[in-house]
Structure 1
Amino acid sequence: MLLPETTRQILDELNLPYDFLSLDSSLSDPPSDFGHDLEDDISLYPDSKVCPSKSPHFQPPTANLDPQTPVKSTKFLDPETSKLWRPKIAKRSPYFPIAPAPAISCLPFPPIDAPSFGLVQEQLAHEPFKLIIATIFLNRTRGGVALPVLFKVFERYPTIEAIASADLAEFVSMIHCLGFQNQRAKKCIAIAQLWETDPPAKNKRYRKLHYPRKLDGRDITADEYIDDEDPRAAWEIAHLPGVGAYSLDSWRIFCRDELRGLATDWKGTDAAAHGFVPEWKSVLPQDKELRAYLTWMWLKEGWVWDCHSGDLTPAGDKTLRAAQREGVAHEEDGNWVLQTSPVKKALNGLHAMD
């Protein structure tokens, strides 16, 4: 491409290669003096695609403008090219209001002495197969939509064997309102079929690539399983089709200790081993509701938990007082921070399964 001399001079001033105009890129932002989002009017530059406002040597004479003169009708003269240019102001329709800033994410928190937080995983903790199916339904779907459909499916297919032999078309029709219904139905049926022949078992762990940390599982082959004495990262349900991080996090929190015979539930009930540490204390989930649940569980023990690092800090008196009554937490950098001022019991429609 043969560039005009003016264009070459501008690219030289900006220390840019001559093939820059053929790249999928743009120059720096327009000068902030305007206070507007400007667009380049290329039609004013017959021999250049670069607006002179991009040049660091070009200073538009905004100080001399009549404040009553609309910026849109003002033309500026580039002293280097002796050409006029006029900024375009993005039009804003008066019929469409400006979208408000997104609301701060928040969740209701029950008192720390409540029997449960309100997650469906708590209800299904002793039925690991159903818990995993629930995570397939909840993935990318609000709980208020997914859970009624989930329990209708369990009524129609009450056992693992029933789901394993389910008619795919019928299953799809039952869950079509969730979206991704074909993928979900195939996953659920495949999980049930493999569960019949090779259910999760103690001392039989499979790799899940890059879970829970990047590069985890690369030292285990795809068809290999390892026992509990092996220190490598692997999981008893990782061989099931369609099981991702959300399913694994949920299962580890609520089901793994019971499967391994370390306790009768995820809270460490009837744990025989001295110094037993429940599995949930080592999970760092990405899901908001799981993070909220673990925040609540750690508050029960008097700790404020960082969901990114797992670090713990003692909860202050104000936080503990708030944790002892029904309240609301808001999200800050992925962590749930409990509202410490008094909160009315009515939570205006907020719900933990949103």
Structure 2
Amino acid sequence: MSPPAKSRKILEELDLSSDSSLSDPPSDLDLDLDDDLALYPTPKISPSKSPHFLPPESASGPRTPVKHTKFLEPEISKDPRPKRPKISPYFPNSPDPPQSCLPFPPIDAPSFGLVQEQLAHEPFKLLIATIFLNRTRGGVALPVLFKVFERYPTIHAMASADLTELVSMIRCLGFQNQRAKKCIGIAQLWQTDPPVKSKRYRKIHYPKKLDGRDVPADEYLDDEDPRAAWEIAHLPGVGAYSLDSWRIFCRDELRGLAKDWKGTDSDVHGFVPEWKSVLPQDKELRAYLTWMWLKEGWVWDCHSGDLTPAGEKTLRAARRDGVAHEEDGNWVLQTSPVKKAPNGLHVMD
């Protein structure tokens, strides 16, 4: 079973591939080797001035060895000027850089605060959001994202967008040509070949290395096939971050297994929400899953997916507003409450 020819034509016209993403070096910023050499040309060495050059043999006879020139070592001053220390001995060493930290809402809060939660029932907009957020801080990307949604509120509007206008709107994000092409490409392909249940496409090396290599590029799989493939992997610009976000927040609803990613109103026997099987690389998605697992009383390891029962101290911290710090990719809740000292500084109990 292969995708329609019309879908393949859309990708070719926009010079896009469903296997590309912003996680890979964007094509509008790539430099060819020849460009690098033009910017940083290799200095030319005259053969006659090279001490190791032997002139080629001529028709008149064998080449004559060249006498090597002896190069003298430069003289070093006997009394070099002492160097001043770079770090003042009168001040203590500066502390190590602070660890990455994130605020954590209580586990009974209605949401964690990710934009994906807000767009979970609009999978097209969620994918566009992941393209905007990839390699860009949310504080920069989200205001631009919602302006774009105001200008292009529907899939049809985005599919008909003027590329130059869209590039101009998102220029401040960087990679604007790549992002704009992929937004338009996703919309156009969504109209002709939207994501549906039982049509799964390959994504090379996702979720694990070598996954997808056993699936032909121009075919899709049904739900009975055990090979790794995904309902949105044929869309341009869908990389690991987009797939992780979509699997966590949208896949169960698309497949008709539940009304949302939390498993609401699921009547499937033994149903396990998709988010429980995702091991994302993105820090915020990892933080979100850490929070979701704490809701169920577990401490989750982001590398292996292993679960450990959360202790009472951790659960007490999870029930109040708190802060988590990163340790080897995992988010660990600060279990001691933060209080304000009389001098205005924050201290730990």
- TM-score, normalisation: structure 2: 0.72
Q: CA deviation at 1:93?
A: 8.9
1:112-131 matched pairs, under 5 angstroms = 112-131=107-126
In structure 1, the partner of 2:319 is 324
Q: 1:91 to 1:149 in 2, by over 3 A?
A: same
Partner of 1:250: 245
Alignment match, 2:330 = 335
Q: Which residue of 1 aligns with 2:17?
A: none
Contact 1:112 1:300 in 2 (8 A): yes
Query: 2:34 matched to which residue of 1?
Result: none
**Residue pair 1:190, 1:241 contacting (<8 A) in 2 also:** yes
Q: Which has the higher contact order (CA 8 A, sep 6+)?
A: 2
After superposition, what is the alpha-carbon deviation per residue over 1:8-46, rounded to whole angstroms, capped at 9, x for unaligned? Answer: xxxxxxxxxxxxxxxxxxxxxxxxxxxxxxxxxxxxx95
Q: Secondary structure at the match of 1:206?
A: coil
8 Å contact kept, 1:328–1:343: no
Deviations 1:292-330 (A, max 9, x none): 000000000000000000000000000000000000000
Of 144, 148, 152, the match for 1:149 = 144
Question: How many pairs were matched up?
Answer: 266
Whether 1:196 aligns to 2:191 is yes
Q: CA deviation at 1:99?
A: 8.3
Q: Is 1:301–2:296 an aligned residue pair?
A: yes
Unpaired stretches in structure 1, ≥5 consecutive residues: 1-44, 49-71, 76-85, 346-354
Q: Are residues 1:110 and 2:124 paired?
A: no
Q: Which runs of 4+ in 1 moved over 4 A?
A: 45-48, 72-75, 86-91, 97-100
Quote the Cα distance in structure 2 between the aligned partners of 1:207 and 1:252. Answer: 14
2:156 is the counterpart of 1:161: yes
Q: Separation in 2 of the partners of 1:259 and 1:149?
A: 27
* Structure 2 counterpart of 1:133: 128
Deviation at 1:102, TM superposition (A): 2.7
User: Does the Cα contact within 8 Å between 1:112 and 1:299 map onto a contact in 2?
Assistant: yes
Counterparts of 1:1-354 in structure 2 under 5 Å?
46=72, 92=86, 101-343=96-338
CA distance in 2, matches of 1:248, 1:74: 65
CA distance in 2, matches of 1:244, 1:223: 18
TM-score normalised to structure 1 length: 0.71
The answer to whether the 8 A contact 1:112-1:323 is kept is yes
Change (3 A) 1:280 1:73: farther
Q: CA RMSD in A?
A: 2.6
| Cα distance in 1, alignment partners of residues 308 and 256 from structure 2 | 31
Residues in 2 aligned to 1:139 and 1:344: alpha-carbon distance in whole angstroms: 35
State the shift of 1:274 in Å.
1.2
Q: CA separation in 2, counterparts of 1:221 and 1:248?
A: 19
- Percent sequence identity over aligned pairs: 83
- Tell me, in whole angstroms, the C-alpha distance in 1 between the residues paired with 2:339 and 2:207: 38
By how many angstroms is 1:140 displaced? 0.5
Match in the other structure for 2:11: none
